[in-house]
Every structure is written in structure tokens, then in C-alpha cells.
Structure 1
Amino acid sequence: MKVKFAPLNIPLAQRLQTAAVLHWVLSWLLLGKSPVSIGIMVMLVLYNYWFLYLPYLAWFCYDWRTPEQGGRRCNWIQSWTVWRYFKDYFPIHLVKTQDLDPGHNYIFGFHPHGILVAGGFVNFCTNYSDFKKLFPGFTSYFHVAKLWFCFPLVREYLMSNGPVSVTKESVSHVLSKEGGGNISVIVLGGAKEALEAHPGRFTLCILQRKGFVKIALTHGASLVPVFSFGENDIYKQINNPKGSWLRTLQDTFRNVTGVALPLIYARGIFQYNFGLIPYRKLICTVVGRPIPVRQTLNPTSEQIEELHQTYLDELGKLFNEHKGKYGIPEHETLVFE
């Protein structure tokens, strides 16, 4: 196979976009669920820098619950220019289909997970999306796996961008805020769905995900389906059909650790044949119509099932109404697992 190299006369803006994406990939793949941050702490111990690690460990313990209590975002970091270049690389857009009442709280169900949830991060964790313009008076809380906040140092950088934990306590904290105008954004498919993230496929792991419905009923928060078209197209994944030795290994690892390990590839920094830099594919995150939810402090299983089915129906309608705009054939439909 002949390697296709990037031309030398690429505009500076495109080079900066690639650099921004490289920063993002390294942040999520190397600094995130890895021993890097722990390794730094171990080095500080070995070299007896107690005046650095002891105060931080004390702070780490004291601050343990912050990811479940609204987090600690930093407007300066959310406004870094790197996020603008990151957004423009694909590019990524946010689309609104209906106005929301800022006097209410909402749960946005984000689909699909994709590999690294690029559309979710840009649209709900940076100041370069159209979120504030499209949804004035709202604050979004992007919920991610609690494991991300268990690593020293990494948790500080992650929280500064806006993400909070996806635990029940964390979501309840957001939805309990009085006055409305708060949105919990939950990637409902989780790590399991990352293993289904192949270009041109639309498999969502949601049939057994009903906790968000119960929380919505408990707090009277409206449910809003969100579909991010193009999310699965920025990476290719080694074929891993159910029952294959690879998928069995991946599922076993995920069940034990809670972490998915999709074997992905895309392009490189200076060539287009292989690497971990995502492809330049348009991502359009479309926010659907809200589903009104009447507060029920002790919902029955029948009420949960009914609202869950209503949500699936609305999610399917959202996909079918907009798929033609983003080059998806008419015969394609969502597959719920």
C-alpha cells in the first residue's frame, strides 16, 4: 500500500486544527484511564518531594465528592483557543429543533457514544459551540464515568473543562437545582456502546438503560433525545462481531474494569493512511423535542417502562427525520440493544 503523505502547502489554520486534535487525543487516550497520573505521584514519593504530594493528597481526599456536586469548571480553560481549532477540524455543529423552557431542568440523552464523544465534548464542555446562543439561560453538565475522577491530577484538568460524574448522586444534584435552567447531558450507551462504534452503523445500547428514566420521574425533569450524526464516522474500528474472540476479550475486560478498549485507527499527523488522528468528518449534534415528565417521587416499574418506550420512540423519530440531511440512506434505522 502506497503511503499518502500530507502536502507541504497545507494552510496554517488546518495545521493548527490537527495540532488541537492531537492534544485532545493524547489527553483522553494517554492521560485519562492510564497510570500516567499515578506514575507522577509515585515519582514524587520516590524522590521525596513530600511538600508537593502530601498537600495534594490531602486536597484530593477533601475534594473527593466535588465531581458529584456540580464539578469545578473554569471559564478560562473552556475558552482556550485550542477548542476552537478542535471544533473546526471536523467541523462540529449543534442543531436545535425546539425551544426549551429555562424554568425547567432537563436530561439530554446523548447518542451514539462513538469512540471519544467528540460532539458531546465540544458542544457541552467548551465555549466555542452555539450552546449558549441556542439555549440561553441554561447551564449544561456533561456526565462522564466516575473512574475518570479517581486519578490524581487528571481529575483537576477534566473538571476544569466542565464534566462531572455520571453517578445517581451527581445527576440528582444537577436536577435538584431550583429555578430551572440546568441540563444533565448523559451518554446513555456508555463504554459498551463504544464497541459498536463503526462507520455507517447505528446500534445503540439502551434497552437495559433505564436509570435515567427513573431519575427523570423522581425530579420531574423533561427528557430530550440528542443524536450526534457523524459521531461514529471519525474512526474505523477493527471488526469485532459478537461472539468473536476479540469481542469476547473486549467484553470481559469491560465487565471487569468498566473500560472499553476498541481497537481503532484513522489517519496520522503527516500522512493519511494510518494513525490515531480522527478523520475530518462533519459532526452535527441534533437536539430533539422535549418529553414532558410529571414528577413522581416513587415511580412504579410500569411508569418507568412506559416513559422509557416513549423516549425510544422519540429518539427513533429524531433519527428518521434528520438522517437524510446527513447522507444516511432512507432504509437505515436505529438498532436498539
Structure 2
Amino acid sequence: MGIKFAPLRIPLERRLQTLGVLQWVFSFLALSQCCLLVFVFLLFTKYWCVSVLYTVWMYVDRETPSSGGRRSTWVRNWAIWRYFRDYFPITLVKTADLDPSHNYLFGFHPHGVLVAGAFGNFCTEATGFSHMYPGLTPHLLMLPFWFNLPFFREYIIPSGLVPSCRLSAARVLGRVGGGQVAVVAVGGPPEALDARPGALTLRVRARTGFIRLALTTGAQLVPVFSFGENELFDQVENPPGSALRYAQDKLQKVMGLSFPLFHARGVFQYSFGLLPYRKPIYTVVGKPIPVERNASPTDQDIESLHKAYLDQLTCLFEENKIKFGLAENSHLELI
């Protein structure tokens, strides 16, 4: 099969959209490594004091990520995020009003390869979250590992990213007065290994930590389904039981990170590369499930709320699937 090259004459708007997504993919896949290399390199130059002073700063500032972060309205409103949004495009869909006097725990599904919908909707203002849900402040939970990388942490903190540990989430959702939203990709890194076009498998039945968190903090649960999230990348076949999947599962358990072997298109051609396909994403935010605070929930309490959540998530999917391009016989597989 030949390579399909991009036309030479492409509107500037589309080139800027590609640039916006290119920098986003780079930040996910390579920026942290570059930051670490710069940090180490400076130690062996006359500017070694920069790395030493930054190490001191990281120690002094160590509690900031798990205390709600240090978000920046300016960063969240960068023009490049609007080009990033329009590349797919990404659309945030509201189905119910959310009272800002409460705190909310958004369960985001599916994880996808690089959680593009979650980032675009909750780490930037490109889709208008603050206008759509006035009085609410979103925080997307991310693996704690990334907040320990020098310089890179200063890039991710202003967007509203916080560590995905219980302490961090509890601090966000435990704030008096409400108005806080913690967004968790429930399926986590393991679900990324199943992300490919057409996939509707969600790893959620055995995931009850977020249910316990909602109960202990009293945060209302809100299911969120991002239609199109799994359509952005192809992935090398890795069925359960295969040698590749075995290696990926082992690496995920040891490092906490998943390593999907994904591919899609390039910058100047459409046949291969690491840029996502231009496929629309519709992130639908469901109705809130009221939760009564319970400092010591029983297994039955957790199971009951978990079932209510799964029912609401399934209803959200069924009510919107045809509207956003899926066939009537499409159904979620909850594992």
C-alpha cells in the first residue's frame, strides 16, 4: 500500500490545528524525557546551580500537586488549545445542570490511548467548561509519577492536573463550600491496551476505589462518556493471552504505566505516524448521582452505589449512541 501524502495547499487554519495536536502528542510522549535530560545535563555544566536550586524548589513545593495544584487561567486559555480542539473537533455535551455548592467526582470513559477528550475538556477552556458549568473547577487526575519529573511538573500543574492518589483526590473533593470536580479515567492505564476503533469494552466492574472515595467525601458521582475517544488511533493486535499483551501487562504492573503500541497518521502524510486521526469527540457529561457522606462505608454500601453508577453510565451511553454516530446494536461491555 502506497503512502498517502497530505496536499501541498492546506489552509493555514488546518496547519495550526495539526501543530496544536503535534505539541500535545509531543508533551505526552517525549517532553518529560527532554526535561529530565536537560535537568541532568545542567548538572555537568557551569549552570549546575539551576538544577540544584530547582531540586530545592521541588522539595519546598512538594505538597502543591496533591493539594489541588496551581492552576493558571492564562495557560488554560492558550490559543493553541482552540486549534487542538478544532483538529478533531472536541465537543463538550451537557445533559444536566450541576449545583456549584456540591463537589463532584466525574468518572470518565473510555480511557482511550491518550485521554484526548479528558484533556481537551477539563485541562483547557477550549470547549467552554467554565461557561457551561459556572462555579465549578475541574481537576483531572494523572499518575503521581509525572509530578516527580523536574521541569515537566511545571508544565502540567497549571492545566489543573493533580496526582491520582487517594490523598490528592480526597483533598479536592473534601473542600468545604463545593465547586470542585475531580475527573478520573476509571479504566486507568490497563484500559488503554484495549483502545482501538470500535472498542466498547470498559474496565469498571472491579473498579470500586472511586466509589469509596465518593462515599467518604460525599461528592456526587457523574458518569461521563466520550464518544469517539477510541477512534483516534489504531493499535497493534494484542489479544489477552498473546505474548505482547503478557509483556504489556507485566510492564504495567511494575511501572504503573501502560505501553500501547499505537499508530495513526503523520504530519505530512496520512498513512502512518503518531498523530491521531481527525475524528470527532463528543464528551457527554451525565446527570449527578446524589451521594450521602459516609466515613466508613460497608461493602454493601459500595456495591449498591457502584450498581447505581453502572446503570446510569449504561443509560447515558444508550441515550446518546445513535446521536453521536454509533449503530443501534452497539452496546457497552463492562468487565
Q: TM-score interval w.r.t. the shorter chain? A: over 0.9
* 1:1-337 paired onto structure 2 within 5 Å: 1-32=1-32, 35-337=33-335
Structure 2 regions of 5+ residues with no counterpart? none
Write the distance in 2 (CA, Å) between the matches of 1:66 and 1:198: 35
Superposition TM-score, scaled by structure 2 size: 0.98
Equivalent AA in structure 1 for residue 323 of structure 2: K
Write the distance in 1 (CA, Å) between the matches of 2:297 and 2:10: 57
1:38 deviation in Å? 2.3
1:152 deviation in Å? 0.6
Give secondary structure in 1 for the equivalent of 2:107. Answer: strand
Write the distance in 2 (CA, Å) between the matches of 1:306 and 1:142: 26
Moved more, 79-88 or 48-57: 48-57
Contact in 1 for aligned 2:43/2:49 (Cα 8 Å): no
String of CA shifts for 1:213-235, please: whole Å, max 9, x gaps: 11111111110000000000011
1:22 deviation in Å? 0.6
Number of aligned residues: 335
1:48 deviation in Å? 4.1
Equivalent AA in structure 2 for residue 20 of structure 1: G
Write the distance in 2 (CA, Å) between the matches of 1:135 and 1:76: 19
Structure 1 consecutive aligned stretches of length 4 or more whose deviation exceeds 4 Å: none
Write the distance in 1 (CA, Å) between the matches of 2:156 and 2:295: 33
Superposition TM-score, scaled by structure 1 size: 0.97
1:39 deviation in Å? 1.8
1:79 deviation in Å? 1.4
1:49 deviation in Å? 2.1
Write the distance in 1 (CA, Å) between the matches of 2:231 and 2:72: 30
Write the distance in 2 (CA, Å) between the matches of 1:207 and 1:104: 26
Equivalent AA in structure 2 for residue 326 of structure 1: F
1:304 deviation in Å? 0.5
String of CA shifts for 1:68-102, please: whole Å, max 9, x gaps: 00001122211111101000000000001111111
1:190 deviation in Å? 0.7
Write the distance in 2 (CA, Å) between the matches of 1:5 and 1:50: 45
Q: What's the Cα RMSD here?
A: 1.0
1:51 deviation in Å? 2.1
